[in-house]
């Protein structure tokens, strides 16, 4: 079972709380957290998160900021598991507003066609990119292009409003 990623853009202070860990507990502690926020602040990329990271950075896990901040970068706020600190049962990663802005600028300046050339399924499978084995050549334009475009809009909006980006990583069936 793989992981799915969801993004949520939020102001750096919520209900008077400024600590990102406490904000994560307030927000993600509610099972219906996605429905509690306007649709333009939430983005679910599902299991495509690692393929997006690979296309953006050329590596399944690493890369240099600001590119690497878009998917895998940030500070881990909670550990997965219901009995772990935070007790959410999934990971939440925090990307502070100061790191959101350069990531947004990179996305805005980098059209999908520039990174799409990295879409090479045999290479992605060899690099153990999640779900690459399940993809067909059409997934590049059917799945990854629209996800990248929505990601670009989410980050641009977050940067324009001085917001942070929270990333929730949970098992795909959650």
- pLDDT tens, 13-58? 988 899 999 999 999 988 899 999 999 999 999 999 999 999 999 9
Task: Give the per-residue pLDDT at 15.
Answer: 86
Task: Give the per-residue pLDDT at 172.
Answer: 82
The answer to whether 9 touches 154, Cβ cutoff 8 Å, is yes
Confidence of residue 174 (pLDDT cuts 50, 70, 90): very low
Return phi, psi of residue 60, to 5°: -70, -20
pLDDT in tens, 56-106: 999 999 999 999 999 999 999 875 544 444 567 889 999 999 999 999 999
The CATH classification of domain 3-171, taken from the options 3.65.10.10, 3.40.1760.10, 3.90.1150.10, 3.30.300.30: 3.40.1760.10
Task: Give the per-residue pLDDT at 78.
Answer: 77
Please write down the HEC assignment for all residues of 115-130: HHCCCCHHHHHHCCCC
SS3 4: strand
Instruction: Residue 151: name the closest of 42, 61, 33, 23 by CA.
Output: 42
pLDDT in tens, 119-172: 999 999 999 999 999 999 999 999 999 999 999 999 999 999 999 999 999 888
Q: What are the boundaries of each domain within the chain?
A: 3-171
3 pairs with which residues across the strands? 171
Radius of gyration from C-alpha coordinates of the chain: 16
Rounded CA-CA distance 64/82 in Å is 32
Rounded CA-CA distance 171/45 in Å is 13
Instruction: Residue 69: name the closest of 99, 114, 111 by CA.
Output: 99
């Amino acid at each position: 079972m793989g992981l799915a990623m969801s993004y949520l853009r939020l102001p750096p202070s919520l209900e008077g709380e400024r600590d990102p860990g406490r904000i994560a507990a307030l927000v993600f502690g509610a099972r219906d957290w996605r429905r509690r926020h306007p649709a333009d602040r939430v983005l679910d990329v599902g299991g495509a998160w690692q393929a997006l990271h690979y296309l953006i950075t050329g590596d399944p896990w690493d890369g240099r900021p600001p590119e690497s901040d878009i998917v895998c970068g940030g500070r881990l706020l909670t550990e997965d598991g219901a009995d772990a600190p935070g007790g959410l049962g999934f990971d939440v990663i925090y990307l502070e507003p100061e790191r959101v802005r350069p990531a947004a600028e990179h996305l805005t300046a980098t059209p999908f066609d520039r990174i799409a050339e990295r879409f090479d399924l045999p290479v992605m499978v060899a690099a153990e990119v999640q779900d690459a084995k399940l993809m067909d050549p059409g997934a590049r334009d059917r799945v990854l292009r629209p996800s990248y475009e929505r990601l670009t809009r989410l980050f641009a909006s977050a940067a324009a409003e001085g917001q942070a980006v929270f990333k929730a990583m949970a098992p795909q069936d959650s």
